[in-house]
Amino acid sequence: MLVDDVIALVPSIPGRRALLGLTGPPAAGKSTLAAHLVAAVNDRLGQGTAAYVPMDGFHLSNAQLDRLGLRDRKGAPETFDADGFVHLLRRLRSERERPVYAPDFDRDLDQPVAAGLVVLPGARLVVTEGNYLADADPAWHPVRDLVDELWYVDTPRDVREARLLSRHLHAGRSLPEAQAFILLSEQPNAERIAATRSTCSRTVTEGDLV
């Protein structure tokens, strides 16, 4: 069971911290899986043992995307602050005596929110997830050396695209706008991410939680 495998990653020595990365295409269920694993670890080992820090908080703001002319590519690798994310992982690795604050992402606002999350000193496992954790681009490549394991979350394309459609409609796009964005942006991103699958430690699915 996945939960047992995650618990095996938790350091038994006080003061140590492990990082588990989950990657996969948009709407593969990464955030759902991460939240489930964190809750399960905390249920078994005590509250505060595990923390969740997604990559989504490092989306560039809409103002910056507009400045760069990238609003219609939101979600592509170049629309994230990769350096900021890598820096956060390094802090999580080295800082164990003070809280580490991290940005979150508000889907209703469609914007990052500064210091929306915190990892307390007692956390011995941090689960992070995002589209480009296994990407070969130099900006993202350091992630591989900063996580103990990197898992690829696999979900059928039709399931992912139904979720994406629902997500974009909820965000206020019309049906034609949502379908066009999935075709022109989300799908190319998904294909790029799928190419990294073989470089990950293992492949998992939401069904593996059962």
- pLDDT of 210: 54
* Angle formed by the axes of helices 30-45 and 2-9, nearest 10°: 70
Percentages helix, strand, coil for the chain (3-state, rounded to 5) are 45, 20, 35
Q: Please state the pTM of the whole predicted model.
A: 0.94
- pLDDT of 14: 75
CA distance 149 to 126: 11
- pLDDT of 96: 86
More confident residue, 13 or 183: 183
For residue 1, what pLDDT band results from cuts at 50, 70 and 90? confident
For residue 93, what pLDDT band results from cuts at 50, 70 and 90? very high
Q: Which CATH number fits domain 2-209: 2.40.30.10, 3.40.50.300, 2.170.190.11, 3.30.1050.10?
A: 3.40.50.300
Residue 136 has pLDDT above 70, yes or no: yes
Q: Region 151-178: what's the mean pLDDT?
A: 93
Q: Region 155-175: what's the mean pLDDT?
A: 93
User: Residue 106 carries which DSSP code?
Assistant: E
- pLDDT of 66: 97
Mean pLDDT score of the chain, rounded to an integer?
94
Residue 209 has pLDDT above 70, yes or no: no
